[in-house]
Every structure is written in structure tokens, then in C-alpha cells.
Amino acid sequence: MSGYFVRQGWNRADAMLVMAELVKHRLVRVEGWSFGKYAVTKRGWDKYGEIFLAGSSQDVHISARDGGFVVANVHSPYGGAHGGTGNQAGRSDISHRELIHALRTDAEGATPDESVRAREYADDLSEAVQADNPDRTDRVLSRINQLLAGASSAFSLTRTLPHPGG
């Protein structure tokens, strides 16, 4: 985990604070003297299996495609899933898909001009997310926010979704 902590810009005190509860409950143990080295204990593995592996055959679906892209769909009101390449946290394909769907749905009741723009932005966002291009995604989100700033009441569904740049 030391590489993760370094990438996050955390020092030893930050890492110890984050891992304190896991160590306290003996779910992980400090491994050696090096910064950020932890190992899962038997108790930690058992707890992980109890929570995440047992009886989940119909509630959790994981799929992968070439290139290492993995998606997990969790059937639970409190569950969450994220997709990404190389375990990049902070990327949210799920909210982007919801935003794309909301734009297309709201476009059906919008004025012709707003409808065309909304559909184009939904297509652009879909392509940017598919290409895993964060700069392009941010530019499209900015255009979507500009549309929503002056759009008619037809965009009520889209406005309910929190999204970056909003």
C-alpha cells in the first residue's frame, strides 16, 4: 500500500490514521518497519469473505473486457460500483451513464434547439467516457452545465443528478 499512499500524497501519520481502525480490530497488521506495509490477518480475510463473498452469487455481477476494464454491478440499495482502468479512483462511469440517460430522456420534452444540443452532448459524453478521455469529458460536462444554466423546465431529471463541474 506504500505506493498508493505516496501517490495520494499521504505521509506516515496520514496512513496510520486511515489504517488505525483496521489494525485496532486486527483485520490487518503492520508488516515490518517500511512505510505503508500491511498484511491481511485471518480474521480480516474471514470478515471480508463474510461480507463480500458469501451468498452473493445473484447480487453481485462482475464483468471484464479486453484491456483490463472491470465493472461490478451490486444489487443493493447501499451498494456501489465503479469502473475504471488500473483502479483509478474518482472516476464515475455510473453517474456519467445516468447523466447521459437523463439528458436523452429530458430532450424528448425540450424545445427543438435544446433537444438537439442535449442529444449531441449525451453522445459526446458517451464517446468521451468510452474513450476514457478525462479532458474531453470535462469539456463536455462544462457544455452540459452551460445548457442547464439556461434550459427550460424540461431538464428536471438532469438537474437532479449531481455531476462534476455543476
pLDDT string in tens for the chain (166-residue length) = 777 778 878 787 887 888 888 888 888 888 877 777 878 888 888 877 776 665 544 455 455 554 444 555 555 555 555 544 444 444 445 578 888 888 899 989 888 899 999 999 999 988 988 888 888 888 888 888 888 888 878 888 887 775 554 4
> What pLDDT is attached to residue 120?
93
Looking at the domain assignment, is residue 15 inside a domain?
A: yes
State residue 89's pLDDT score: 43
Asked if the structure places residue 165 within a domain, the reply is no
Pick from 141, 136, 143: nearest CA to 164: 141
102 and 80 in a common domain: no
Asked if residue 130 belongs to a domain, the reply is: yes
On whether residue 128 sits in a domain, the answer given is: yes
Give residue 53's pLDDT: 60
- Output the pLDDT for position 28: 85
Q: What span, in angstroms and rounded, lies between the C-alpha atoms of 78 and 100?
A: 22
pTM given for the model: 0.44
Classify residue 74: in a domain, yes or no: yes
Is the domain of 114 the same as that of 145?
yes
Residue 164 lies in a domain: no
Shared domain check, 32 and 83: no
Per-position b or e across 115-151, b if 16+ CB within 10 A of its CB: bebbeebbebbbebbeebeeeebeebbeebeebbeeb
Q: Is residue 39 part of a domain?
A: yes
Do residues 29 and 65 share a domain? no
Q: Is 135 domain-assigned?
A: yes
* Same domain for 48 and 27: yes
In terms of domains, do 43 and 66 share one?
Answer: no
61 shares a domain with 32? no
What is the residue range of 45's domain? 2-54
Residues 21 and 42 in one domain: yes
Note the pLDDT of residue 76: 55
The domain total for the chain is 3
Same-domain check for residues 152 and 141: yes
